[in-house]
Amino acid sequence: MSISYQHTPVLLHEAVEQLVTKPTGVYIDATCGLGGHSLEICGKLSPKGRLFCFDLDPAALAFAQTRLAHYKNVVFVQNNFDKLKVELYAQDLTQFDGILFDLGVSSMEIDSPERGFSFMQDGPLDMRMGNTGMTAADVINTYSREDLTRIFRNYGEERFSGRIARRIVETRPYRTTSALSACVRTIVHGPHVNKSLARIFQALRIEVNRELDSLQNALNTSIGMLRSGGRIVVISYHSLEDRIVKQTFLDAVSDCICPPQDPVCTCGHKAVAKKITRKPLLPSEEEITLNPRSRSAKCRVIEKL
Ligand SMILES: C[S@@+](CC[C@H](N)C(=O)[O-])C[C@H]1O[C@@H](n2cnc3c(N)ncnc32)[C@H](O)[C@@H]1O
């Protein structure tokens, strides 16, 4: 295995400082990636502390496993983070002190042309973080024009969604990232074409990996897996993710989740957590200069009551 992969962890110290409140605690890194945050977490744990590292990507986990080999209190699980509870409850582990989500894809995934995540490099239209399920080619070549329009609009917020979807349907099949990019370039011209390509590729990636559903499910179950005082720390990178995190956290810290127009509360909901960050933590100018991929990051934290 190559050891030349680089992924600069985003908000590394800020996120881990918020997460680890007890050196002997039991923690989950739900998006281990290349293990940058996990390494920092391990550095804060005593030998009695434990860390469970999840990732869908077997290549990333293998890399992280080598990197963290020195630590004997780390367990690696290749699975979707919406299966945290199923996986860990099966091992009789039910109470955790903190769960970290650093969402999206790693640099290793984006920078590997054969994974098909980037419109900057030619590769197969794959985009799966794991090694099962439908690929981006399946989406592009089998979805109806209406469904392609919907995902480009909802997950990419792309202005030309309808026209791009129609052109794809008229000219498919597509097998490679460069062929799909060339198709988009027949619709979008001028200086904004790379922004449109980024939005179309983001939309496809979200659809292929069911990213927003997984996030919502994982956040819903994670709160119930925490001990009192345990924390959830989420680093998100775009508004669709952040909206889910913000709303789920707001519900968790609220005594009522009735629609605001309702005159009296009928939900009977009780707050289960408190906010630790009133406003999201953001990367400093210095971090953004050193690692431009951090520029859109937002980190939110809640603590179980
Ligand atoms: C931004 S990277 C994490 C980088 C990591 N914190 C580090 O410092 O190296 C996000 C990782 O989450 C993984 N991932 C994304 N969605 C996932 C999901 N639903 N379940 C499990 N892993 C997921 C990706 O495969 C990727 O490796």
213-239: average pLDDT: 97
Q: Which atom of ligand 1 is nearest to the CA of 211?
A: 19
147-164: average pLDDT: 97
Q: Give residue 264's pLDDT.
A: 86
Residue 283 CB–ligand 1 contact under 6 Å: no
Residue type at position 227: R
Please check the confidence at residue 239 and state whether its pLDDT lies above 70: yes
Confidence of residue 4 (pLDDT cuts 50, 70, 90): low
Q: Give residue 3's pLDDT.
A: 47
Tell me, which fold does domain 12-107+211-304 have in CATH? Rossmann fold (3.40.50)
Whose CA is closest to atom 13 on ligand 1?
Answer: 31
20-43: average pLDDT: 98
Question: How far is Cα 83 from Cα 94, in angstroms, rounded to an integer?
Answer: 13
Residue 18 CB–ligand 1 contact under 6 Å: no
Please check the confidence at residue 241 and state whether its pLDDT lies above 80: yes
Coil/strand/helix, residue 106: coil
Coil/strand/helix, residue 273: strand
The pTM score is 0.95
Confidence of residue 1 (pLDDT cuts 50, 70, 90): very low
The 8 Å CB, 24+ separation contacts for 175-183 are 175/124, 175/125, 175/137, 176/116, 176/122, 176/123, 176/124, 176/125, 177/113, 177/116, 177/118, 177/119, 177/121, 177/122, 177/123, 177/124, 177/125, 177/201, 178/122, 180/119, 180/125, 180/140, 181/119
Delimiting residues of CATH 1.10.150.170 domain(s) in the chain = 131-208
Closest by Cα among 242, 248, 277, 293 to 17: 277
281-297: average pLDDT: 96
Length of the chain: 305
Please check the confidence at residue 250 and state whether its pLDDT lies above 90: yes
Question: How far is Cα 33 from Cα 63, in angstroms, rounded to an integer?
Answer: 8
Q: Give residue 5's pLDDT.
A: 64
Structure tokens given for 117: 């995540």
Please check the confidence at residue 243 and state whether its pLDDT lies above 60: yes
Closest by Cα among 125, 101, 106, 9 to 62: 106
Please check the confidence at residue 277 and state whether its pLDDT lies above 80: yes
Please check the confidence at residue 2 and state whether its pLDDT lies above 60: no
Q: Cis peptide leading into 23, omega within 30 of 0?
A: no
User: Between residues 49 and 268, which one has the greater pLDDT?
Assistant: 49
- Per DSSP bridges, beta strands 273-275 and 226-236 are unpaired
Confidence of residue 257 (pLDDT cuts 50, 70, 90): confident
Delimiting residues of CATH 3.40.50.150 domain(s) in the chain = 12-107+211-304
Average pLDDT, the chain: 95
Whose CA is closest to atom 12 on ligand 1?
Answer: 31
Confidence of residue 256 (pLDDT cuts 50, 70, 90): confident
Q: What is the pLDDT of residues 105-142, one digit of tens each?
A: 999 999 999 999 999 999 999 999 998 999 999 999 99
170-194: average pLDDT: 96
Percentage above 70 pLDDT, the chain: 98
* Residue of 12, 31, 67, 103 with the most ligand 1 atoms within 8 Å of its CB, for mutation: 31
- The region of weakest confidence among 1-10, 22-31, 152-161, 171-180 is 1-10
85-104: average pLDDT: 95
CATH of domain 131-208: 1.10.150.170
